[in-house]
Amino acid sequence: MDSKLLVGFLCMAAGLLGLFWLGYEVLEGDTFALDKAILRTLRTAHDDAMPIGPHWLLQSLTDITALGGFTVLTLLTSLVVGFLLASRKPGTALFVALAIASGAVLSTILKDLFVRQRPEIVPHLVQVSSTSFPSSHAMNSAMVYLTLAALLARSQEETRVRLYLISAAIALTAIVGISRVYLGVHWPSDVLAGWTFGAIWAASCSFAAKALQRLRRMEPPGTA
């Protein structure tokens, strides 16, 4: 195991520890005061239905939040899988499909496990129906965008290009999560948990993909 893999493993372990702590705090209700304060800070003092900032900001974040929704992420994943199949890379296509699908299933399981109610202290500015913890928009966008960015970055030789791809994926994931809090449909701790779980899942998939690549290279020529 090289140093990068070890550092990555330690980071994931630390992230898991933090996630379990956050889950415990949520179950105990200890995050409520901070969650509540942040949500109220994002609304005007005279009207809880009116978010702070100019009108275009509300419209922009309403559009952006859809980038973490089931429809957009499923469409994007399907297009990438189709591209990989057309490029005659069925193994990579299967890996991407399984990684994203299994992560989405995990998100649903976690929601059913915690059964946290959506915030009701401010009006919701978009329609929602499922439970709150963790934020599936934050978690699924982290899984999809970070996994695909890592996959694409491995095909690039220049470090600055790889950094750009990963940074763009992180920025997109971050703004999707922020939009959920701004629109009043998630507690901030929901989004934090979603980011953490999604990032850990994406990193795990990246390490798994690298391990599979090494195994293929070690196979003797002609091995089925």
Question: Which tokens hold the place of 193?
Answer: 């948990």
Q: Cβ contacts of residue 193 below 8 Å, gap of 6+?
A: 19, 22, 23, 26, 133, 134, 135, 138, 139
Beta-bridged to residue 43, according to DSSP, are 51
Whether 186 is catalytic is yes
Residue 98 Cα to chain centre, angstroms = 16
Active-site annotation holder among 46, 55, 124, 186 = 186
The amino acid at 62 = T
Phi, psi of 123 (to 5 degrees): -65, 145
Catalytic residue among 46, 55, 124, 137: 137
Cα 90 to Cα 16, 134, 138, 180, 220: the distances in Å are 31, 32, 28, 35, 21
Is 137 an active-site residue?
yes
**Preceding peptide of 134 cis, ω within 30°:** yes
Q: Does residue 222 come out as left (phi exceeding 0), alpha (psi in the -120 to 50 range) or beta?
A: left
Helices 188-218 + 136-153 axis angle, to 10:
30
The residues that are catalytic are 137, 186
